[in-house]
Chain A
Amino acid sequence: LAKTTQPISMDSYEGQEVNITCSHNNIATNDYITWYQQFPSQGPRFIIQGYKTKVTNEVASLFIPADRKSSTLSLPRVSLSDTAVYYCLVGAATYSSASKIIFGSGTRLSIRP
């Protein structure tokens, strides 16, 4: 399984754009990149998933360079409610693989007023 490396913590201010980068040098051809968000005392919540280039949804954007060895989660105009732990995961998303979801330590994002 591809291992991921991401910053332990980040701080930002309300209204700013926050970019969290994740390294996954050993990503496999059929691996997808997935990000989860977790608030205290809650289970993780799926944010976004991508394979290559850029993916955008109502919550975030995910940028993946051509070599796929890293990815960047971009949160536009953060608010206090975006304070959470963000996990970057890589793994195959298809039925045929024995894929399982493995979490690292995550990035603890703190948003200040």
Chain B
Amino acid sequence: DTGVSQNPRHKITKRGQNVTFRCDPISEHNRLYWYRQTLGQGPEFLTYFQNEAQLEKSRLLSDRFSAERPKGSFSTLEIQRTEQGDSAMYLCASSLAREATEAFFGQGTRLTVV
């Protein structure tokens, strides 16, 4: 297992388009997190899953954002009707529930909305 994998690494899209990102966590990890990070800021929590259950969503996550984790394996984050303010690095992390604060992060997907 090579760690947390995120695809694509980079995405440029036009305003108003929909985009979807994928995260493949470390195989035995049952927790999966999504974060958004803009330049000079720490990662902002968006949502997290325990297995297939989405346990919490940040108020930052507007109705245009949706995340899924079918079967408790990989996860997708979809942004509908993208806006320029959505431009950021989107990070995924996974962990074991019993070691919830020791998370392993992927390299991120950098989204640019033009």
Contacts and interface: CB of A to CB of B under 8 A. Distances in A.
A43 B45 contact: no
Interface in A56-91: 85, 87, 89, 91
A101 B97 contact: no
A103 B42 contact: yes
Contact of A99 (B4, B35, B100): B100
A94 B110 CA distance: 31
A101 B107 contact: no
A103 B105 CA distance: 13
B107 A106 contact: no
A105 B33 CA distance: 18
A93 interface: yes
Given A43-B91, A43-B93, A43-B106, A101 B101 contact: yes
B93 A49 contact: no
Nearest to A85: B42
12 contacts: A44-B43, A46-B102, A46-B103, A49-B101, A89-B101, A93-B101, A94-B100, A98-B56, A99-B100, A100-B100, A101-B100, A106-B42
A45 interface: yes
A92 interface: yes
A99 B42 contact: no
Nearest to B56: A100
Contacts of B102: 34, 46, 49, 93
Nearest to A31: B101
A101 B101 CA distance: 6
A29 interface: no
Nearest to B98: A95
A7 interface: no
A15 interface: no
Contacts of A85: 42
A101 B99 contact: no
